Amino acid sequence: MKRWPAPTLFLSLLLVAAILASLGIGEMGFSPREVIQALAGRGDELTRTVLWDVRLPRTLVGIAAGAGLAASGVAMQAFFRNPLASPGLLGVSSGGAMGAVLVLAFGIGQTSLFTVPLASILGAFIATGAVMALAHKGASTEHLILAGVALNALFGAVTSFLLSLTAGQFQVSGQILFWLMGGIENRTWAHVWMGLPGVLVACFLMLPLGRRLNIFSLGEASAQSLGVDVKRLRWELIILSTVLTALATATAGVVGFVGLVVPHLLRLLFGPDHRHLVPLSMLGGAAFVLICDLPTRCLSSGMRLGVVTAIAGGPFLLYLLRRRT
Amino acid sequence: MTAIEATGLTVGERLKSLDLALPKGCLAAVMGPNGAGKSTLLQALAGLLPAKGKVHWQGRDLKKIPILDRGRLLAWLPQESHAEFAFPVRDVVVQGRYAWDDEDQGVDQILERLDLCHLAKRPVTRLSGGERQRVFLARALATEAPIQLWDEPISQLDARHALEVLRLGRQLAEQGATVLMSVHDLRLVRFMDQVLVLKDGELRANGAPNEVFTPELILEVFGVQARWENAMVLELP
């Protein structure tokens, strides 16, 4: 546990800075002092309204999506014993998006606050089940990526089909496009309640798994022989990682590469010990998403969060693949 | 007292209704040609494969032993240990303490015993095959389990380390543990108290080496002629 405090402190400070930037930067700029004053209920009313009704939900959804996706990535990498496994690459995100898009396209997305996230969770579970069927544990990188390519193509095709069906309905097709590109703008407190509590609970449940994840990631049978209840751990990993991806996708759309880049980078920097890596990834993932969200406010309106994380993460994936070969 | 006992142990076509028993304080080898079922036997005895028949550890029905207790009673060393994540060697050995819920008990002594102190901080991904084999053996020892099942623990080791592992097995047996290892080198049988000979998933012989390991058996099971000759004998200094 020696390397524990410094990276946590560093990433916590990074997250605080990212939160202040996320709350302060935009069409109306606020200094950190103004942000803190407004959050405490002081300052002028306009600042308070912008912060409480617009910026804070956006920031909280970003935190939930980033922490959820990164934690999900760590769990999947340990599960598949492959550092390249991640929700986006394996198609779990697109499965979640397909679920959400399906209920939106058929006009039942608005029936309840929980319809979209539940559909997203269902879609993500279908994707996880398919990945498990296509690429058994300990599968090679090629197997995993091919399984992901196949699922992404399949879910992408269904989503595109739904998009073309709803081409005439501007509002519905706009919502669907939102899921495809990923983004945390125009989020409301409803989205926060939809995603954040579930993500917090799932993250909390994942924290004590660290030591078992370490053993599991070096082999399933030998983990069982050392006294790890492998069957139970597998279910915990599948359920938690899928729920986290689904909730992130339900509130922020398909935001790629977070689950791949963040755990991988932190593993390179601070080592593979999951007792540290899991909480560090949650902090790092939240900071990464908030930082990637900043250019979307300053640059053109076409710049979406999913686009920025892909621009940041794509080259990183290519670098990793090159390193492995 | 019997340390590990199997009755009618069957794993599909790979292992056919095996009966065997190993006493406490015994160093034993399981031998047989490739595909004979050695690894399957070790995994089935360790409760890591769905198998028919009964397995008892220290007189307790394996099915009734809670998973955590299993980690304290029996250690299994896999034939090949892959590592995708760069854990430092010491952290891997510490994993052997999981069932005891402590971090350090005896770990440094085990590292020293297996000549791994100088590698303690090295990532397990940056080791040679033999070094990695010793690291995972150290993890098995860290469990302090009285039953040790090692699948080809010396297949990748140099002469000195191989002899040291055999000596370690002997020391553990003298301290009351039961060590069953699969080995390919038939000449190592002289180190053993008991030898199990497998072919095509069937137990062809089981007993003290000088009683069962005859040239006729070797010819039948391995298809090679065995004869005694003066040859170079390797021993630790």
Query: Which of B166, B12, B72, B44 lies closest to A228 in space, CA to CA?
Result: B72
B202 domain-assigned: yes
Range A46-50, long-range pairs (CB < 8 A, 24+ positions): A50/A26
Distance from CA of B199 to the nearest CA of A (A): 24
Other CB atoms within 10 A of residue A187 CB: 24
B163 domain-assigned: yes
Superfamily of domain A22-324: ABC transporter involved in vitamin B12 uptake, BtuC (1.10.3470.10)
Cβ of B48 and A225 within 8 Å? yes
Domain ranges of chain A: 22-324
A281 neighbourhood in chain B, CB within 8 Å: none
Residues of chain B contacting A, Cβ within 8 Å: 43, 46, 48, 67-72, 74-78, 81-88, 91-92, 95-96, 98-99, 124, 136, 139, 143
Scored b (16 or more CB within 10 A) or e, A158-171 reads bbeebbeebeeeee
Q: By three-state DSSP, how is residue A187 classified?
A: coil
Are A104 and A172 within 8 A, CB to CB? yes
**Which one of A218, A225, A272 has the shortest CB-CB distance to B76?**
A225
Maximum Cα interatomic distance, chain A, rounded to a whole number of Å:
63
B190 domain-assigned: yes
- Taking chain A (325 residues) in runs of 10, the rounded mean pLDDT of each run is 75 96 90 90 88 94 96 90 80 86 81 80 88 68 77 88 82 75 86 92 96 92 93 87 89 88 90 94 97 84 82 82 67
B100 domain-assigned: no
Cβ of B71 and A219 within 8 Å? no
Report how many domains make up chain B: 1
pLDDT score for A300: 63
B-contacting residues in A 68-107 (Cβ below 8 Å): 81-83
- Taking chain B (237 residues) in runs of 10, the rounded mean pLDDT of each run is 93 92 96 94 94 94 95 94 89 94 88 92 92 94 96 90 93 96 90 94 92 90 85 82
B111 domain-assigned: no
B214 domain-assigned: yes
Distance from CA of B66 to the nearest CA of A (A): 9
B218 domain-assigned: yes
**Which one of B48, B74, B86 has the shortest CB-CB distance to A272?**
B86
Domain carrying residue B157: 2-83+145-222
B117 domain-assigned: no
Query: What is the CATH classification number for the domain harbouring B68?
Result: 3.40.50.300
One DSSP character per residue, B96-150 reads GGGGGT-S-TTHHHHHHHTT-GGGTTSBGGGS-HHHHHHHHHHHHHHTT-SEEEE
